[in-house]
Structure 1
Amino acid sequence: MPREGATALVVPLPEADPLLAAVAARFPDAVRPLPAHVTLLYPFLPADALDDRVFAALDEVFADRPPLRVEFAECHRATGFAALLPDPAEGLSELVGELRRRWPDLLPYGGRFGTDVDLHLTVALNTAEATAEAVAREIVPEFTPIRAHLREARLIALQGRWQLRRRFEFTA
Structure 2
Amino acid sequence: MADEDAQAFRAGQSGLIVRVPEAESLVGACRDRFDPSSRAGVPAHVTVLFPFLDASRVDEHVRRAIGEVVGRQQPFEARFDQCGRFPGVLYLAPDPDTGFRRLTEAIVKRWPENPPFGGQFDDAVPHLTVAQGQTEAVMGKAEADLLAGLPVVTQVSAVELLVHDGTRWRKRATFPLGRM
Same structural fold, with TM-score higher than 0.5 when normalized by the shorter chain: yes
- How far does residue 165 in structure 1 lie from its aligned partner after superposition? 0.9
Unaligned runs of 5+ in 2: 1-7
Deviations 1:120-154 (A, max 9, x none): 01111222332222211x21112211111112110
Provide the C-alpha distance between the structure 1 equivalents of 2:25 and 2:146, rounded to a whole number of angstroms. 11
Partner of 2:51, secondary structure, is coil
Partner of 1:165, secondary structure, is strand
Report the counterpart of residue 159 of structure 2 in structure 1: 153
Report the counterpart of residue 144 of structure 1 in structure 2: 150
Indicate whether 1:29 and 2:34 are aligned. Answer: yes
Indicate whether 1:45 and 2:50 are aligned. Answer: no
Conserved? CA contact 1:83–1:122, under 8 Å:
yes
One-letter code aligned to 2:177: F
* Percent of aligned pairs sharing the same letter: 33
TM-score, normalised to structure 2's length? Answer: 0.85
Report the counterpart of residue 4 of structure 2 in structure 1: none
Partner of 1:124, secondary structure, is strand
- How far does residue 30 in structure 1 lie from its aligned partner after superposition? 4.1
Conserved? CA contact 1:10–1:38, under 8 Å:
yes
One-letter code aligned to 2:48: L
One-letter code aligned to 1:54: V
One-letter code aligned to 1:118: V
One-letter code aligned to 1:86: P
Provide the C-alpha distance between the structure 2 equivalents of 1:4 and 1:116, rounded to a whole number of angstroms. 27
TM-score, normalised to structure 1's length? Answer: 0.89
Conserved? CA contact 1:23–1:139, under 8 Å:
no
Indicate whether 1:135 and 2:134 are aligned. Answer: no
Report the counterpart of residue 74 of structure 1 in structure 2: 82
Indicate whether 1:103 and 2:111 are aligned. Answer: yes
Provide the C-alpha distance between the structure 1 equivalents of 2:46 and 2:68, rounded to a whole number of angstroms. 20
- How far does residue 103 in structure 1 lie from its aligned partner after superposition? 1.0
How many pairs does the alignment contain? 168
One-letter code aligned to 1:139: D
Conserved? CA contact 1:80–1:131, under 8 Å:
no
Unaligned runs of 5+ in 1: none
Partner of 1:163, secondary structure, is strand
Match for residue 98 of structure 2 among 90, 96, 116: 90
